[in-house]
Structure 1
Amino acid sequence: MSYISRSDLAKSPGARELAQVATPEQEAVVDADLMQASLTGADRSAWSADEIAVADQALAVIDAAVVDADAVIDGYLAPRGYLPLDPVPGIVTTWARAITRYQLHKDRVGGEKDDPIVRAYRDALALLQQTAAGKFSLGLGDTTAPAGTGSPDWSAPARQFTNDSLQDF
């Protein structure tokens, strides 16, 4: 089970952007309408077999980025006992979108300082780290506390000197 579907990705970041970043370099960029149809499972009979083959290659790149994003998310959530997630909270889908988009754009040239894709990716990782540390909850009935939280366990013998036993002193 994936945290984000192709249809979710078709809505945002959208078929045009996905076609631009996922089409193999040696091929012409997949038509945005074909990519939309490919992402949503719509009829693709209006395009040639060659165009559909390139779109399928782009889908494979997108699917690989989704698998990588799911693995990153699982790596943070597994220690907290959240897995498997059913249903998937909306925030996890948002994280999957940000991480997938970043994976698809990782070879882009440019400054990272003001890049909204990088910012969304870093925000997702920050919230995942907070979730792993127990500082952010997915609201799924957290039953596991991270190591080092809560009060310490201790035991001691009964008190030998009490106010009653020391009353005469």
Structure 2
Amino acid sequence: MSYVTLTQLAEIPGALELAQVATDKGQRPVSAELMDATLRGGDRSAYAPAEIARADAAASRIQEAVIQASAVMDGYLSKRYPLPLVESNPMLSTWARAITRYQLHTDRISDERTDPIARDYRDALKFLQLISESKFHLGANDPTTGTASLGDFLINPGDKVFGRDRRP
């Protein structure tokens, strides 16, 4: 199961960044407009076939990173949930986006301690680890919480201690 779509990635981090990191090394990046149309399945008829082929190759690299990110996430999630998860969760999409983005930025030169891409990646893995250890839940969409798994609440008011009906 893929936790993030190419359309979601076109939104954040955006087609410009993805074009810059997913285009073949040594080539000028695919234009942001063409990358956006490719990721969203839009009209690309105004572009040359060679440009479309380069955009398709970049989209293929992005899709491969999405598949790898989903596999990493499944490794953590499978310790606690039967896969594939029935319902999507926004947190999972955010974490998949962070892992995908990190994998695509393999050539960046930065301090891992202060790099926001590395920070988001580490945070995603930390939360996935907490989920696998049952220390963090997916919220309302978590299949392991709710009345079915926790049981029903029973309230027993007990006997009255004071009142008009009680006589010593």
Aligned to 1:141: 143
Aligned to 2:51: 51
| Residue 79 of structure 1, CA deviation | 1.2
State the one-letter code of the partner of 1:141.
Answer: P
The within-5 A match list for 1:74-85 is: 74-85=74-85
Residues 39 and 59 in structure 1, CA contact (< 8 A), matched pair in contact too: yes
Aligned to 1:116: 116
The yes-or-no answer on 1:107 pairing with 2:107 is yes
Aligned to 2:156: none
- Runs of 4+ in structure 1 deviating by more than 3 angstroms, as ranges, are none
| Residue 132 of structure 1, CA deviation | 0.3
| Residue 82 of structure 1, CA deviation | 4.2
Structure 2: 5+ residue runs without aligned partners? 146-168
Deviates more, 1:125-134 or 1:19-28: 19-28
User: Higher Cα Rg: structure 1 or 2?
Assistant: 1
Q: 1: distance between equivalents of 2:12 and 2:101?
A: 9
Aligned to 1:146: none
The within-5 A match list for 1:1-169 is: 1-139=1-139, 140-142=142-144
| Residue 98 of structure 1, CA deviation | 0.2
Q: 1: distance between equivalents of 2:82 and 2:104?
A: 27
| Residue 106 of structure 1, CA deviation | 2.0
Q: 2: distance between equivalents of 1:5 and 1:98?
A: 13
Residues 27 and 54 in structure 1, CA contact (< 8 A), matched pair in contact too: no
Residues 22 and 62 in structure 1, CA contact (< 8 A), matched pair in contact too: yes
State the one-letter code of the partner of 1:142.
Answer: T
What do the CA deviations read for 1:92-151 (whole angstroms, capped 9, x no partner)?
0000000000000022112111110000000000000000000001132317xxxxxxxx
Residues 34 and 44 in structure 1, CA contact (< 8 A), matched pair in contact too: yes
Q: 2: distance between equivalents of 1:62 and 1:141?
A: 29
Deviates more, 1:84-93 or 1:126-135: 84-93
Count of residue pairs the alignment pairs up: 143
Secondary structure in 1 matching 2:78: helix
Q: Tell me: CA distance 1:90–1:82, structure 2 relative to 1, closer, same or farther (3 Å).
A: farther
Secondary structure in 2 matching 1:81: coil
| Residue 65 of structure 1, CA deviation | 0.4
Q: 2: distance between equivalents of 1:11 and 1:86?
A: 24
TM-score for the superposition, normalised by structure 2: 0.82
Q: Percent sequence identity over matched residues?
A: 54
TM-align CA RMSD: 1.1
Deviates more, 1:93-102 or 1:73-82: 73-82
Q: 2: distance between equivalents of 1:106 and 1:25?
A: 12
